[in-house]
A and B are shown apart, each in its own frame.
Chain A
Amino acid sequence: QKEVEQNSGPLSVPEGAIASLNCTYSDRGSQSFFWYRQYSGKSPELIMFIYSNGDKEDGRFTAQLNKASQYVSLLIRDSQPSDSATYLCAVNAQGAQKLVFGQGTRLTINP
């Protein structure tokens, strides 16, 4: 069973702090890793994707991938109340043509 695990939260972080979201996956053949943000009642929005080990930065967001540990994380610097949402980790094995989603982590940024 190919699985993606996330802490469901809620994760509560003060405004201006760093929010750290974690995700582990079971399939060693996984090749592509994605983070989606989903506001309540809205559709998922792609915020980061990463294919290689290491860090990838985009504005206040950093994705980190460690394939040896089967671990991918998302850091949000200078957290804002507008970052409050559910964050979905998704993983794709090469040739699978589909994403396996984690259950999502609900993040709340407190002013």
Chain B
Amino acid sequence: DTEVTQTPKHLVMGMTNKKSLKCEQHMGHRAMYWYKQKAKKPPELMFVYSYEKLSINESVPSRFSPECPNSSLLNLHLHALQPEDSALYLCASSPVADYEQYFGPGTRLTVT
């Protein structure tokens, strides 16, 4: 089973709101990722967690705050977002970093 789940599927938030995206996998994978994808563009890496430690932050603005509570869960906390942050947010996992990545279905975020 190569399933990564993400909630919610859709999220609309105002620029002053605080919300969180959740990602879960039960494949025993030890690397998890957050990506942002705009229409007709490839996924753009935001963060990498390896063995529950943040190993890569691709210079993401501080209004995005990742958290890895345990090896199965990954959260992305959102605060004071801008309309240009509207995108599809994808979570992925891999057995360990450098191996094949499996994507979740994504959260479609709209910032108003």
Interface residues of A (CB under 8 A from B): 31-32, 34, 36, 42-46, 49, 88, 92, 94-99, 101-104
**A43 to B105 alpha-carbon distance, docked (Å):** 5
Can you list 21 contacts pairing A with B, beta carbon distance less than 8 Å? A36-B103, A43-B88, A43-B90, A43-B104, A44-B103, A45-B103, A46-B100, A46-B101, A46-B102, A46-B103, A88-B42, A88-B43, A92-B98, A94-B98, A95-B98, A96-B98, A98-B45, A98-B48, A99-B101, A102-B42, A103-B42
Is B106's beta carbon under 8 Å from chain A? Answer: yes
Q: Is the CB of A98 within 8 A of B103?
A: no
Q: Is the CB of B43 within 8 A of A44?
A: yes
Q: Is the CB of A97 within 8 A of B56?
A: yes
Residues of chain A within 8 A (CB-CB) of B100 are 32, 34, 46, 49
Rounded to whole Å, the gap between the CB of A51 and the closest CB of chain B is 10
**Interface-central residue, A31, A36, A44, by most chain B CB under 10 Å:** A44
Dominant secondary structure at the A interface: loop
**A88 to B41 alpha-carbon distance, docked (Å):** 10
Residues of chain A within 8 A (CB-CB) of B71 are none
**Interface-central residue, A31, A43, A95, A96, by most chain B CB under 10 Å:** A43
Chain B, 78-112, CB within 8 A of any chain A CB: 88, 90, 97-106
Residues of chain B within 8 A (CB-CB) of A88 are 42-43
Rounded to whole Å, the gap between the CB of B36 and the closest CB of chain A is 12
Q: Is the CB of A97 within 8 A of B105?
A: no
